[in-house]
Amino acid sequence: MPPKTKYPTPSLRFHNGAWKIIWSWSGRQYSVSTGLPEGDKLFADQRRIEFAIALKKDVPSFPAEYARTKSVLKYMEARYGIEHAEQTRGSDPQQWIDEYTHEIRGKNTKGWVRDSRTMLEKLQIAAKGLDRVTSKFAAAYMADIAAKPPKKRSEKNEGKGSPGTHNRTLTVIKKFYAWLVTTERHAINPFAAIKRLKERKDTPIVYCTSAERDEIIDLARATGWPEWTAVFIAFHTGMRREEVSNLLWNDVRFDTGAINVTKSKTGMPRTFPLPTIVEKFLKASPDRTGHVVTVAKGQSRVGRLNSLMNRMKKDKTIALLKQWKIEKPSPSRAKDFKEKWATFEATVKEHEAALEYSLEHIGWNVCRHTFASLKVQDGVDVQKVARWIGDTLDTCLLHYAQFIPKDKRDPDIDKG
């Protein structure tokens, strides 16, 4: 057997949509596919590849996705003297999801962790194993997601894909495989080369005036649900639904006049001033233990908040129908039910625009948009608003620049 210095160094070849590591040994040629597509940065500047490229160890353990042929095992045993070349670092791929969700649980909101787990489980079922995902499969998987339209689709966008769903899924899966590579559980990130889709930026921002905001808060209070306080807090702080749901009394600092958001959508904690109206509202609470927003026992916190919004929309619809003197006919009471139902539908259609306008202003995103838009209209610096609501300056300028008063706009616009 030749000395180890004479052992061949593997070379690269692009074949059938993926890079292959190829070497000759003892008069025979061996190869193994890496699953990496053309143009992958991992191999852009490297023409001579060692099998241990993804592992920063002197004596590598061979990643399972490369060790699927006996020739690879034989070569590794001979070159490195490894008895079990197929050994992998980390746990069984079936346990990766559990370990990852446990890893991110304390750093992200419950909703992000829950959605991440759901997306990864769907990927695992589709690929029949997370360790079997190649870059080619990853590209096809994401293309399929992008082609599926969302549940609510306007006539103007009928048939178009959903960039938002695609980008959220891609972000989750990319972070997951980056974690696998960092912890040496997997050698490659098959989603690394996939780019985000361009999302629509012309979607109008739904927000309320001060009067409309107060009406919706009164509507929430009228439900009698204890969760109505979340609507008040969201409107006056710009916090997201889950941020309000997770807010603890310990996060409300009456001594310093600040609110600490420890679990946000972005995973980055933030602190912003406690509004006076919210401070007075919270100080009136008799119980200041646990969560700020009380939720019925045995109920999901986020699910209960969503149910509150649905209840408010239903109550608003009933109130408007009464205001317009529209009575929904009952089949058991009306003898000429078909005629009355036709009249009912026609009358509702006349008020359809007003009904739709009223209902679209009831939602958790509306609370956030209302807070930001009203602040900017009153002359508050957009950079401050962005910091308060936990968003980027670019996003806030995109959505709220039209609300900036004339005397607060950039004076350079009149130069030249």
Domain locations in the chain as residue ranges: 4-80, 93-182, 210-360
Placement of tokens 């193994």 in the chain: 32
199: Cβ–Cβ under 8 A, 6 or more apart, which residues? 163, 164, 167
What is the predicted pLDDT for the residue at 300? 82
Please return the burial class of 290, using the count of CB atoms within 10 Å of its CB with bins 0-12, 13-18 and 19+. Answer: exposed
Q: What's the rounded mean pLDDT across residues 264-286? A: 90
Would you state the structure tokens that stand for residue 409, as one six-digit string? 């706009």
What Cα–Cα distance (Å) separates residue 11 from each residue in 30, 50, 53, 69, 151? 11, 9, 13, 18, 48
The gap between the terminal CA atoms of the chain, to the nearest Å, is: 80
Which helix (DSSP H) or strand (DSSP E) does residue 75 occupy? helix 70-80
Confidence of residue 219 (pLDDT cuts 50, 70, 90): very high
40: Cβ–Cβ under 8 A, 6 or more apart, which residues? 19, 135, 192, 193
Residue 411: CB atoms within 10 A of its CB come to 7
**How many whole angstroms separate alpha carbon 208 and alpha carbon 315?**
18
Taking alpha carbons only, the member of 26, 27, 84, 91 closest to residue 60 is: 84
Check whether 256 has a pLDDT greater than 80: yes
Check whether 251 has a pLDDT greater than 90: yes
User: Which stretches of 128-162 are DSSP H helices?
Assistant: 135-147
Check whether 200 has a pLDDT greater than 90: no
CATH code of domain 210-360? 1.10.443
Least confident residue range of 45-54, 105-114, 249-258, 405-414: 45-54
Sign of torsion over alpha carbons 154, 156, 162, 163: negative
pTM, full prediction: 0.62
Confidence of residue 280 (pLDDT cuts 50, 70, 90): very high
Confidence of residue 146 (pLDDT cuts 50, 70, 90): confident
Q: What's the rounded mean pLDDT across residues 325-344? A: 78
- Of 211-225, 254-268, 283-297, 315-329, give the range with the top mean pLDDT: 211-225
Confidence of residue 349 (pLDDT cuts 50, 70, 90): confident
Check whether 44 has a pLDDT greater than 50: no
What is the predicted pLDDT for the residue at 156? 43
67: Cβ–Cβ under 8 A, 6 or more apart, which residues? 32, 73, 76, 85, 86
Mean model confidence pLDDT for the chain: 78
Q: What totals of helices (H) and strands (E) does the chain contain, helices first?
A: 15, 6
